[in-house]
Structure 1
Amino acid sequence: MKVRLVLTSMAVSALTLSACSNDEVRAPETSAAAAPTALVGRDAVYAAAREGPEPFVRALYAQYVNGGPQGEPPAPGRDPIYDRMLNAMIGEDFRKAGGEVPTLNHDPICACQDSGDFAVESVTVLPGADARKADVAVVFSNMGETKRQTLKLVKEGPMWKVNDVLAPGEKPLTEQLMAAIS
């Protein structure tokens, strides 16, 4: 058991380091003076990620309320809304799939492949949040189905990012990915 824990820790460390390469995709820099007053889509998410956990999560889900994320999504493992560790796992899951369907074959934020008639019912920062970590509970409906999940967030540099996605009755996203890439 100890050997497996050490090997898993080493694999996660290696993936973390690979995600920190110099060619890493970063969210666009924005400044309050230059930013337009009505940001939408990913620009709104990146701006809100600098404000705090609740504004960041609200901006993430606002994309689905407004018809879903627009434009071409970042390459697997290069999405600025996820922290380095989760990006490394997503990228490795995609690479290991080798052109087949990866373990993560849906959008973990909306817990869906398609969205429609999307509504956010509540966003709650859970007790225990601090300057670098926060858990945010979200209740939303998509195509008539109510879903609950908790986003575990971490602050990397000036931006809040998703570290894990927890849904009742399911293993955490990081555990699912680790099982697939180990």
Structure 2
Amino acid sequence: MLTTIKQPSAGLLASVVMATWLEQTAAGPVAFLLIAHPPIRRQNETEERIEQQMRGLAEALGLGESHDKMRDAGPRVWLRGQSGAAISLDGTRLAVQLPPVGTQWSTFVAAGGPVCIVVGLDPLPAGAPREVVEQYLADALSYGRSLIGSAAAAPECATIRGHP
């Protein structure tokens, strides 16, 4: 089924479920950011409409299909203090504020470490335990239900795309 991509709304961005962690991979250490949406909560929401917006979010983050070569999403991770971060979106004045990322994650990214951003297209309950998040990620990657890309920290003196 072909879906139309829609620009993510401020409401969607405020409701997404996020998880961050550091992981040792075959390519070396990587900081991860998983962004998913919660199960349908409102009368006017549909799975198709949410997926369109999640695909729009992935497009605004410069991500591609998980079965393709990983895209370089560019320097879009904005570090704030020792454990705060946000990510900028292309084509919009909106940015996504991450939950506290922790000092190790922030220090690793500030030192030039890569951030693998994964946008999941299926619902993930807020506050899901780690084992549920791990299974969600494995399923999303296995079944092509995610979009991914590699990002980096934005230069301190630069501005967020579209933001002064």
**Could you say which TM-score interval applies, normalised by the shorter chain?**
under 0.3
Which structure has more strand as a fraction of its residues?
2
For normalisation by structure 2, the TM-score amounts to 0.24
- For the pair shown, the structure with the greater C-alpha radius of gyration is 1
For normalisation by structure 1, the TM-score amounts to 0.23
Which structure has the higher relative contact order (CA within 8 Å, separation 6+)? 2
